[in-house]
């Protein structure tokens, strides 16, 4: 797709599905944002029912699977909230991003994403505590036990709990920021690819892409975690992680080539101000946490050692014979060790 002309790339979609290859109108989820509309006497809550489409369970299951990949509550919540801010920022480019405030924060972040993350974390907790009894299938006396044994055959052989600890070192902090960036870019590619390739949101290719990303992304996340957690044993980043990064970058290049005009629509001034402020805050925290704070702690440690040295020196002078009682005690310990 990247090496084709824009017209040929879009018409190539007809070989996959004859109904593709035609421009589609973008659906706007904004408009009337009243939760209770008194003007509609037949159904005052029609705005809520209009938003409850097939994408609500898709949001839930999507974040359930993403939680199984990332395995960290805070990282999942940060990515979820950050994507809503991206939708606010880019709704002037894609009308599909225009949603009501309660659709953003109540339906998406709290109900769909939040519930999916919660169920995912509960599943992770169950998998980490589960014990396996790998006895022979025909040695199990009951049919219920046999069915459980068959189901357990498709569960993971081992399960590793991810502890990202982003604030423990600058290396881990930059790695976690990179993971969040790639996740958000892959999420945006979903919407922009639909827009530039003229695919309806409910098309099976969109779902297949997400299923593909879940499978390869799960392996890639394990490779990234192993590389970060034990760099002496895992000296190189895994092939699957590089492959996911390459696919995400290629998708972004396709979007840039097929519709550069949409991507170059300038952000509103207040949106730009908010992003600049956020970037400054992140950079300031990074500088304080990994540079200024370490220098301050090192200075305090050196000052404490100087004070202890001065105290010992004063104590030596106060003995009168020029020897410290601490040094005498250490010499006595050495003599006892030699005798033993």
Instruction: List C-alpha distances in Å: 194 to 2, 22, 144, 268.
Output: 15, 12, 45, 24
**N-term to C-term CA, the chain:** 80
One pLDDT digit (tens) per residue for the chain, 340 residues: 999 999 999 999 999 999 898 888 766 665 667 666 667 667 666 667 666 666 788 889 999 999 988 888 889 999 999 999 999 999 889 888 888 887 788 888 998 899 999 999 998 888 775 544 444 555 566 667 667 666 666 666 566 667 777 878 888 889 899 999 999 999 999 999 999 999 988 889 998 998 899 889 888 988 888 888 776 776 788 899 999 999 999 999 999 999 999 988 989 999 999 999 999 999 999 998 888 887 887 777 777 777 777 777 666 666 555 455 555 555 666 566 666 5
What per-residue confidence (pLDDT) applies to 135? 47
Q: What is the pLDDT of residue 159?
A: 62
Residue 305, pLDDT score: 77
| pLDDT for res 337 | 60
Domain ranges of the chain: 56-156, 162-265, 271-315
Nearest to 213 by CA among 171, 178, 194, 185: 185
Residue carrying structure tokens 């839930």: 60
Q: How high is the pLDDT of residue 90?
A: 92
């Amino acid at each position: 797709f990247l090496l084709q002309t824009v017209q040929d790339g879009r018409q190539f979609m007809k070989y996959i599905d004859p109904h593709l290859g035609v421009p589609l109108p973008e659906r706007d989820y904004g408009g009337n944002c009243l939760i209770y509309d008194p003007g509609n006497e037949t159904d005052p809550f029609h705005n809520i029912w209009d938003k409850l489409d097939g994408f609500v369970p898709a949001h839930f299951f999507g974040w359930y699977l993403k939680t199984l990949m990332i395995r960290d509550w805070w990282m999942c919540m940060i990515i979820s909230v950050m994507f809503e801010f991206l939708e606010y920022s880019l709704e002037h480019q894609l009308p599909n991003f225009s949603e009501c405030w309660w659709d953003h924060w109540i339906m998406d972040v709290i109900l769909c994403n939040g519930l999916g993350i919660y169920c995912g974390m509960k599943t992770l907790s169950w998998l980490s505590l589960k014990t396996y009894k790998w006895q022979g299938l025909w040695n199990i006396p009951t049919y219920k036990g046999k069915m459980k044994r068959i189901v357990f055959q498709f569960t993971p052989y081992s399960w590793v709990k991810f502890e990202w600890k982003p604030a423990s070192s600058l290396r881990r902090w930059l790695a976690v920021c990179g993971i969040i960036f790639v996740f958000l870019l892959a999420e945006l590619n979903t919407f922009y690819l639909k827009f530039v390739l003229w695919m309806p949101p409910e098309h099976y290719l969109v779902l297949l892409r997400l299923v593909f990303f879940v499978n390869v992304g799960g392996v890639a996340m394990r490779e990234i975690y192993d590389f970060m957690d034990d760099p002496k044993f895992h000296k190189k980043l895994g092939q699957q992680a590089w492959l996911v990064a390459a696919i995400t970058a290629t998708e972004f290049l396709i979007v840039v080539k097929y519709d550069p005009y949409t991507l170059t629509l300038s952000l509103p001034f207040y949106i730009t101000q908010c992003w600049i402020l956020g970037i400054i805050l992140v950079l300031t925290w990074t500088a304080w946490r990994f540079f200024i704070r370490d220098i301050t702690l090192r200075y305090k440690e050196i000052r404490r050692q100087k004070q202890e040295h001065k105290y010992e020196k004063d104590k030596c002078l106060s003995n009168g014979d020029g020897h410290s009682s601490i040094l005498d005690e250490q010499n006595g310990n050495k003599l006892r060790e030699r005798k033993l």
